[in-house]
Structure 1
């Protein structure tokens, strides 16, 4: 395994993917928004997974719109939160939630890695998956309702921050040194494609952007948003390490679980303010 502190090998120009190719890869694999994937190779995956937070930004903005409108039309914070939480599920065809459920079933099965991976590929959802879905959706809705109760501005900003943090967790999970659990699937396509330095740079950029976006609400709030991004990544990193030890690497389901866990963690931290 390559040491994470080593410089990544230079990529020949012919193996580089353009930013538009990467954005199409990110939007085409992580959302249902119209994006025709022009390249399906490692260079495109490298650029695409580095751009995953951009896809999260789009999802977060689209999710915040109906919640804010409901509040402005006289709806309550709970209704606004429930609708806001539903939008990302629709914009991803529920794939990230499905990944969360499958990962929970695999981790809870107490079976060897091969058997756990087979469980995760099955179309049905077991008891661990059901419990994980209920808890995550309930916590997301409750936390967002608390933030919406403060103001629609804070609710919208928290929605966007959580969506971006969730996709940033995917970027970090695609970094060098993280293996794939299977030789096929999305996990194999994106595992280890993002250079460590690029992953750190994207993390710093997203954290700074979250703080800057919240700065008009005051310096304490800006620091809270930066902390929520870092806490989200810490929670996702713990899950990632557990999955790598348990399954031998990452799968597409694991990426979905990381996204949901990171986004939920960010919302909880933002609700505490």
Structure 2
């Protein structure tokens, strides 16, 4: 099986899509929020996947609001965390969680790439997928509950950071040199569209923004928030590398798995503080 990270980079699309086209692409493909996609081509995908963190920002804010309200109304941190985790699932139609389950089934199947991809396309969820879903959901709720128990401000900021980092992991997975595992689907539409310097810049800006947002929480929080983003992206990159080696490329399911793993890792690091 080819290690595609050593292959020649894919050529990025030569044309450019407007920023509004990119926003519509990002929100239309990554959320259920009303966004009429005006272009479905690689230039639009290039701009759209670079805008993915903005979709994450909106999802994170919308997820944090009900959690904070529940706390202010007297609810406990576990309830607030459970609702906060449920909102992104609803705003993505559960597609990222479904992608996590399918990817876990594909990786756990021990089948050749083609057969593993066929397993991932099946509508049912296998045992590996069920276990992955249970573990990830438990981890996210438990970690976020710990953060909410400290303060609603920390809980809300953790929810936003996790959601944004999850989408940055997707942006990095769309960088040049990462191929699609299939000729069709979302993976083929976005694979290799984001130039490496752009992807790296977005990741660096996200780390800086997380650190800056944590300034009101004190200097220790600044380092912790930056570390949360960095370690979450590292975890996602390790999974991406494994998936590319295993499936010979990325699929839409892999993007969902990367998002959930990155969000979970970020919340774990933030909960440790």
CA distance in 2 between partners of 1:16 and 1:234 (Å): 29
TM-score norm. by structure 1 comes to: 0.96
Structure 1 gap ranges (5+):
none
Residues 1:42 and 2:46 are matched in the alignment? no
Report the counterpart of residue 75 of structure 1 in structure 2.
75
CA distance in 2 between partners of 1:9 and 1:185 (Å): 18
Residues 1:24 and 2:24 are matched in the alignment? yes
Equivalent pairs counted in the alignment come to 267
Matches within 5 A, 1:153-168: 153-168=153-168
Offset from partner CA, 1:26-69 (integer Å, 9 cap, x none): 00000000000000000000000011000000000000000000
Asked if the contact 2:107/2:246 (under 8 Å) is kept, the reply is: yes
How big is the shift at 1:222? 1.1
SS across alignment from 2:32: coil
Residues 1:200 and 2:206 are matched in the alignment? no
Report the counterpart of residue 96 of structure 1 in structure 2.
96
Offset from partner CA, 1:137-184 (integer Å, 9 cap, x none): 000000000000000000000000000000000000000000000000
Asked if the contact 2:13/2:43 (under 8 Å) is kept, the reply is: no
Report the counterpart of residue 59 of structure 2 in structure 1.
59
How big is the shift at 1:2? 2.6
Question: Which consecutive segments of 4 or more residues in structure 1 shift more than 2 A?
Answer: 1-4, 8-11
Offset from partner CA, 1:203-256 (integer Å, 9 cap, x none): 111111111111111111011101100000000000000000000000000000
Report the counterpart of residue 127 of structure 1 in structure 2.
127
- Superposition CA RMSD, Å: 1.1
Offset from partner CA, 1:113-135 (integer Å, 9 cap, x none): 10000000000000000000000
Residues 1:189 and 2:195 are matched in the alignment? no
Structure 2 gap ranges (5+):
1-6
Report the counterpart of residue 4 of structure 2 in structure 1.
none
TM-score norm. by structure 2 comes to: 0.96
How big is the shift at 1:84? 0.4
CA distance in 1 between partners of 2:8 and 2:45 (Å): 19
